[in-house]
């Protein structure tokens, strides 16, 4: 019986560690990125206009992506449009 009592704090610690990992939601990247040529720009929270960028019609391309790399998924609200930089000095360049 004493062995069981001695193991209870260990079981409680292991259960707490498991619960901390199991019930923590993963961080989701919610950025918006655009690519012109080989350069990626972070446009998270930036409204498209003449001083930043625009999404022009192009049925063969996408404008915004969820990450700055070639494995990124297109963001559905800006599909079939191409990313065009209007003023690069107002945008942040990111490394893929």
User: What's the pLDDT band for 4 if we cut at 50, 70, 90?
Assistant: low
**48-72 average pLDDT score:** 89
Average pLDDT, the chain: 83
> What are 39's strand-pairing partners?
36
- pLDDT, residue 16, reads 77
Burial class (CB in 10 A: 0-12, 13-18, 19+), 78: middle
Q: Which residue in this structure is represented by tokens 């989701």? A: 28
How do residues 18-28 score in pLDDT, each as one tens digit?
A: 777 777 655 55
What is d(CA 5, CA 53) in angstroms, rounded to the nearest whole number? 65
Q: What are the boundaries of each domain within the chain?
A: 33-94
| Whether the Cβ atoms of residue 45 and residue 91 lie closer than 8 Å to each other | no
């Amino acid at each position: 019986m004493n062995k069981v009592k001695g193991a209870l704090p260990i079981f409680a610690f292991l259960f707490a560690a498991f619960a901390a990992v199991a019930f923590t939601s993963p961080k989701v990247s919610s950025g918006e990125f655009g690519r012109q040529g080989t350069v990626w720009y972070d446009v998270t929270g930036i409204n498209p206009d003449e001083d930043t960028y625009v999404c022009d019609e192009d049925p063969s391309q996408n404008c915004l992506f969820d990450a700055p790399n070639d494995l990124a998924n297109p963001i559905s609200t800006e599909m079939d449009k191409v990313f065009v930089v209007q003023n690069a000095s107002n945008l942040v360049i990111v490394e893929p």
